[in-house]
A and B are shown apart, each in its own frame.
Chain A
Amino acid sequence: DTGVSQDPRHKITKRGQNVTFRCDPISEHNRLYWYRQTLGQGPEFLTYFQNEAQLEKSRLLSDRFSAERPKGSFSTLEIQRTEQGDSAMYLCASSWIGGRDPDTQYFGPGTRLTVL
């Protein structure tokens, strides 16, 4: 296993369009997290899953954002009707809740979104 992967790495879209990102976690990891990060800021938590259940969603997340993890493996993050303020790096991370350090998160390379 080569770690967490994300696709696409870069996405440029026009305001008002919908976009979908995919994350493939480390295969044995049962937790998956989505973050958003802008320049000079730390990762901002969006949501996380344990297996296929979405356990927490940030109050900052508008209804335009939705995430799924249908079979407890890969996850998708969809942004509907994108706005320029959505431009950011979207990071996915995974962890193994059964391990000694369940909160150590392994990050993917991120998807850079630019909304024109």
Chain B
Amino acid sequence: SQKIEQNSEALNIQEGKTATLTCNYTNYSPAYLQWYRQDPGRGPVFLLLIRENEKEKRKERLKVTFDTTLKQSLFHITASQPADSATYLCAPVLVAGNNRKLIWGLGTSLAVNP
């Protein structure tokens, strides 16, 4: 069955450091992959999308990589700030003809300490 694994433990880092979150998938090949941020009691917010033919995508302090050989995406937040504290969800997208399916990971909780 299709499976996604994100960092199982919450990530605690010091302000100013780089946070790295991992998303591993098995048993399928997504056409692209999205990352979302979710704050407590709120819906997820879209951050970045990376396609299978892209190795890396950047947006301000965010960087996403996509390694289709390792079946892994890494999500980096550089110069982290306490306001970056949230849960980050990985969501690969399978595309088969006209059918598309987005699969959600459980998320990784990030806490940035001042």
A40-B106, A41-B106, A42-B89 given; A103·B34 CB < 8 A: yes
- What's the Cα separation between A106 and B46 when bound, in Å? 7
A38 to chain B, nearest CB (A): 11
B44 interface residue, CB < 8 Å from A?
A: yes
Q: How far is the CB of B32 from chain A (nearest CB, A)?
A: 8
Which chain B residue shows the least CB distance to A92?
B43
A109 interface neighbour in B32, B43, B46, Cβ under 8 Å: B43
Contacts of B34 in A (CB 8 A): 103-104
- B contact residues, range: 10 to 19
Q: Which of B13-21, B78-86, B97-105 contacts A (4 or more CB under 8 A)?
A: B97-105
Q: Which residues of A contact B102 (CB under 8 A)?
A: 103, 105
| Cβ contacts under 8 Å, B107 to chain A | 42
CB contacts (< 8 Å) of A4 on chain B: these are 43
| CA A105 to CA B34, docked complex, whole Å | 10
B28-63 interface bits toward A, Cβ cutoff 8 Å, 1 = contact, 0 = none: 000010100000011111100100000000000000
Tally of chain A residues near chain B (CB < 8 A): 22
Bits for A1-17, please: 1 = Cβ < 8 Å to B, else 0.
00010000000000000
- One of B41, B44, B45, B93 near A103 (C-beta < 8 A): B93
Chain B residues, Cβ within 8 Å of A109 = 42-43
Chain B: minimal CB distance from A65 (Å)? 19
Please, which residue of chain B has its CB at the minimum distance from the CB of A10?
B41
Residues in chain A near residue B44, CB distance under 8 A? 43, 91, 105, 107
Chain B residues with CB under 8 Å of A93's CB are 43
Indicate if A112 sits at the interface (CB-CB under 8 A). Answer: yes
Q: Which 7 A/B pairs are nearest by Cβ-Cβ distance?
A: A107-B43, A42-B104, A103-B93, A42-B106, A43-B104, A91-B43, A107-B44
Binding site for A on B (CB under 8 A): 32, 34, 41-46, 49, 89, 93, 100, 102, 104-107
List chain A positions with a Cβ less than 8 A from chain B.
4, 40-45, 89, 91-93, 101-110, 112
